[in-house]
Structure 1
Amino acid sequence: MASGAERRKRRTRPVPPVTFDEALTLGLAIQEHAAGQRVRRLTLFENMNREADSNASRALITGSFQYGITRGSYKSEHLELTPDGATATSSDTSPSDRFVAQFGLAIEKNEIFRKLYDNFKGNRLPTASVLKDYILGEGVEKDFLNECVETFVVNAKFLGLLRTIAGAERLLTKEHVLEDMENLGALAVAKRTPQVIEGTVATDPVPRSAAVVDVQVRDSMSDTCFYIAPIGQPDSEERQHSDLFMGSLVEPALQEFGMRLVRADQITDPGLISKQVIEYIVRAPLVIADLSFHNPNVFYELALRHAVRKPIVQLSRVADRLPFDVREFRTVQIDTTSIYTLVPRLETYRSEIASQIRMTMESDDQGENPLTIFYPGFWSGE
């Protein structure tokens, strides 16, 4: 029988609970609302239109602290920027100095991320399975492999370290990026906004979709992710788009979570399809919404999901400008402009989607959306 001490022992998470660009939003908020100075935690989150004591906010503070952006825990009275955090978030800092500070915080400070970078920099980035094998050999527990690799990929992408060269995604050196910054002036590294993620890694073979199967509503939806997407008519561009995203991106991203994906056209139970769709929207523990093509049905169903305050992950094509009401919420954007740029980036997109799923599902807070933030009295009729 395990001792009390053994039962109380918790495994240490080897990486922060959020991606670097997400954690950076806290530092940017301190710059915006407190002029970079020490600020009361409750006041800061009130200005951010977020609940200070929600699980998501606690993870944000913890992640920002672990990256070295801020000082203070989710129990602290005040939060403040570290010197490196101030450099990484200040608009007065030169783009190159800001990049160096962000690189140090996002990659060098974490042992696992630093080892991945040092081992693979300057080369084609291997598939996720190779990256996971490498950090497994470095002592990372199996349960954390996916999260470590996905967070590393997202962080590297945010810093501009991933670039498609000769049809393959490559992990650039810090010096390479700095040289490009000098040649081009100020790169977009300094201007990226954390709200929208535009994915840019090498790929395993694209898995064949197992999605087009008969699906019946089960008594339990504990393992269900409902996919809100523009479906369109058979052979339409919308249907081909939806099938591609579902089979090559969303389903692979869901595999590690043991969830099955259901799309409206797969529901075969007798009865009103609209009733069954609403049942999935209301009951499924996770909804992934593809906002591409600005399909009105998609936005109607997204609004219903907002009303039940449950987790949502948003996707969209880069070509589609997001409406104002949902633009402020994190969206994984997929560049479908050319097959020659899409295919090398498929695994990066999968990693970004999986990372968003993890952060969303690990928080047991009610889903954060425009209603919960700007009109919390909606449910009480106030």
Structure 2
Amino acid sequence: MVATEEIERIEKARGRKRGAQRPFPAGSFNEAKELADAILLFGSGQPVRRLSLFDHIEKAPESGASRQWITNASKYGLIKGSYAADFLELTPEGAKAVDEEISKREQTKARVKLAIEDIPPFQKLFERFSGNKLPAKAALIDAAKEIAIPERYVEEAVDTFIVNLRDLGLLKTLSGAERIVTLDHLLDSIPIKSTPESRDASSIAHSRGSLVTLEHADFDKTCFYITPIGDEGSESRRHSDLFLGSIVEPALESFQLKVVRADAIDKPGVITRQIIDYLLRARLVIADLSFHNPNVFYELAIRHAARLPVVQVVRSADRIPFDLNQVRTIKIDTTDIYSLVPKIDTFRSEIANQVRRALEDPDSVDNPISTYYPNLKVDLEDQKR
């Protein structure tokens, strides 16, 4: 019995000494890819002698950093061969990942496969969060713990995962917030051929891929965001992206409402049937009166006529038109970053408070039309059918 207990004690001690194994490479994909790039350049894709390669790139082949570099490239599936092997060579997928002669789309697929899909912890995190805003690091750490990453490696795993997403193009700033995009979304943004025509086609494909069609809309769980959108890169677009991603969406998280902006359902700048459907059927509308955009006021009037819940926001620098200045409007100070950032949580809370009141008592909607014509209400029965 004593001998058995002693054996168990020794085995436990050995386990503690060895420690839990890191279930992912000890470095980013791009760092490991640099070794694959060197193999391609030095040997034209053929197997290369390890010592000769490291002599060529002027690195010590037996150093700890060099050994780890080889190990990481191998764990990512970029190369065959260990730090003790005589020869190193590219794997078929590794060759695709570094070969600039193949199409950009195929190269991207290979890189995502090696850096995310073939690394189990990263694949599970990607499956869970793709298509959504990048969550807080604490939330990613909790998710990593749930998929059984050893405690000592959890934070490193999350950091490496985020860096890989960024380097691959899977982490994009969209609508004012960093979002983890799907592989299809990433591929849609890559032209099949580098010509103006193909870039236009790619842009159209991307746009269509992101549309929220009426067939898939769940209006009872939707907040339609009326806002001046403007052209890509314009002040109004950057304003709209900032308000949407940093203020409006966070304010509505607890209400479980999906925020939809016009450019997610149709061509921005044109008031279409789809936009009118959202105005008349969405559970909530948030209207941003900044920039005095005529489309915004037109769409707001439609919502007012329907006497459905609306929450109004505006930049503090913009004057609220006389017709609307008696309707409560949340003023957001965007004078400069020093004015906005310290109050951003307060602005979110103001919006959430107004949303709560509007949803709890939708019949109490008050606007110029309901004030002067209390019996006027758009008949939505045909819309609901």
- TM-score for both structures, normalised by structure 1: 0.48
Answer 1 or 2: which has greater helix percent.
2
**Highest RCO, 1 vs 2 (Cα 8 Å, sep ≥ 6):** 1
- TM-score for both structures, normalised by structure 2: 0.47
Structure whose CA Rg is larger: 2
